[in-house]
Each structure stands twice: as C-alpha cells, then as structure tokens.
Amino acid sequence: MSQPIANSVAFVTGANRGIGAALVEALLARGASKVYAAARNISTLDAIVARGEGRVIPVSLEVTDLDAIRAAAALASDTTLLINNAGVVASAFRPISDISTIDDLRLELEVNAIAPHAITQAFAPSMIAAKHGTVVNVASVVSLVSYPVVPTYSASKATTHSITQSWRHTLAPHGVNVLGVYPGPVDTDMARALPIDKTPVTDVAHAILDGIEAGVQEILPDPVAVAQGAQYLANPKELERLVSQQMMQQEAQETVAA
Ligand SMILES: NC(=O)c1ccc[n+]([C@@H]2O[C@H](COP(=O)([O-])OP(=O)(O)OC[C@H]3O[C@@H](n4cnc5c(N)ncnc54)[C@H](OP(=O)(O)O)[C@@H]3O)[C@@H](O)[C@H]2O)c1
C-alpha cells in the first residue's frame, strides 16, 4: 500500500529538531496539506510554524504522557500519516555491567518503544474508521543488531521493531499500513559525539518519504542502513560478529588517542 505525501495530513513527534524537523520541512516541500508538529516545548516550533505559512499546527506533546497523547489524538483526528519519530539515547559508551544502565533502559523503553505503541493505540481508531492511513515508526539499524556502544538503546529499538510488526499485523486488515524506518548514523544532535561518517538529515528525511510513498515496510534511508539491512537479511550472525568487531576496533582507537 502506498501513501502519497501530497495532500496528506501528517503528525510528527519530536518535530522541533533533527530528523523530525527535517521530516516536517520535507513534508511541506512535497505538498502535505497539513502537518501537526509535536514537541515538548512548543516555543521551539516557532520557526517551523512560520515557514509552514498556515500548514504547520504546533502540538505540545511529551511522548511519555498518556493524557497528552490522548489529547493530541483528539486534536489531530484527521491524521492520515502518523510518524513516531521522537527518540532518546540515555547513554553511550557505558558498559552494560554499569548499574545505571537499568535506568537508561527504562527511559529508552519509555520514549523509544512504549510511546510509539501508546501513540499508535490513540491514533488507530480514527484511521480504522477512515479505512485508510499510514503509521511510521522510526527505529534504527540497532533494532536489527545490538551496537555494544549503545546496548540499552539497541534493546529499546529492537522493541520498537517488534511493536511495529505487531501493529502491522493488527492494522493491515483495516487498510492501515505500518512501516518501520531503520536509519544508520544521521547527522543530528543524537549522533554528534560519534566519530564516524553520518548521512545529512535532509537526505534521510526525503528517503523516508520516498519509502512511505512506495509503501516499503522496512525503510533503509541511508548507505549504512542499506548495507546492514542486506547483511541482516543474508546472515544475521555474521552482522553481529562484524558490528562487534568494528566497535572493539573503535574502542581500541579511542584508548590509543586518549
Ligand atoms: N541520529 C541518528 O544517527 C539516528 C539513527 C537511527 C535512528 N535514529 C532515530 O531517529 C529519531 C530522531 O532522532 P534524531 O537523530 O533526530 O535525534 P535528536 O536530534 O536528538 O532529536 C530527538 C527528538 O526527540 C524528541 N524527544 C526526545 N524525548 C522526548 C520526549 N520524552 N517527548 C517528546 N519528544 C521527545 C526531542 O525533543 P527535545 O528537543 O524536547 O529534546 C527531539 O525533538 C529517534 O527515534 C532516533 O532514535 C537516529
């Protein structure tokens, strides 16, 4: 099932910066008729709302707040394209043996997995009634294979992937498409500290919209995602070994540099 971007009514979480902000810009450029831009601090949306010239509606949304989710779904009941983009990395380069990773995992599960699940639950009834719509969850390549430098984030994003599959199964009979996005490193605040090549955020946003328009169920929006997605499908154990080896090399280089 494909979903044209032109004339769609989109709802984007984490719309104030990074991939979310780039998605709002790309949606506007490709003719979306309305974009609900959701952020925790609504004043951070001022510039994007101004650029939208009436097509961007700011929505206050902390994605872990169930009452706020229900209010947003009621406000935006005409949504045809829901993009669960907001996400968090609680810590990186922290060994999984560290006790604080328990709290890291709790937060990451709340924001990266439970929130997209709860938001989809709140928006699904209006899409089911319309017998039409698309839900997009921004997962990660780490959903497919754990990156040892971000072990708890990887675990939370693996849950995002699983939730996406469950919702796909549940909503498909109602004409509602559920897609997952599995980016590699993207040049945003989230990946700022990673000393590796990153794909420009505008390229990623347009690749995501291309995937939505084509109805691709697993959208791989950058070269790392394409390579690791193919490896995952061909030989998941080999991908696990390769990623683990790369991370060990990176850690060794950082130790020498320090
Ligand atoms: N960058 C990458 O390399 C990469 C790779 C794969 C997947 N991803 C995924 O892509 C998505 C976007 O990431 P990004 O790179 O754009 O990250 P980012 O630049 O750090 O932006 C994260 C966005 O999520 C919002 N957010 C975080 N916690 C929230 C909460 N509790 N309630 C509401 N909004 C919240 C942030 O809002 P505030 O401004 O209020 O903090 C911000 O708008 C995430 O799901 C991320 O996991 C990113």
247: pLDDT confidence band, cut at 50, 70 and 90? confident
pLDDT tens column, 119-128: 999 999 999 9
pLDDT tens column, 180-192: 999 999 999 999 9
pLDDT tens column, 10-58: 999 999 999 999 999 999 999 999 999 999 999 999 999 999 999 999 9
CA distance 26 to 5: 10
pTM value is: 0.96
156 lines ligand 1 (CB under 6 A): no
Matching CATH number, 9-257, of 3.90.1200.10, 3.90.660.10, 3.40.50.720, 3.10.129.10: 3.40.50.720
Q: How far is the CA of 140 from the centre of ligand 1 (A)?
A: 11
Count of helix runs (H) and strand runs (E) in the chain:
9, 7
Angle at 41 between CA 39 and CA 46, to 5 degrees: 85
257: pLDDT confidence band, cut at 50, 70 and 90? low
**Terminal Cα distance for the chain, rounded:** 51
Instruction: Give the residue extent of every domain in the chain.
Output: 9-257
Pocket probe for ligand 1: among 88, 138, 163, the residue whose CB has the most ligand atoms within 8 Å is 88
14 lines ligand 1 (CB under 6 A): yes
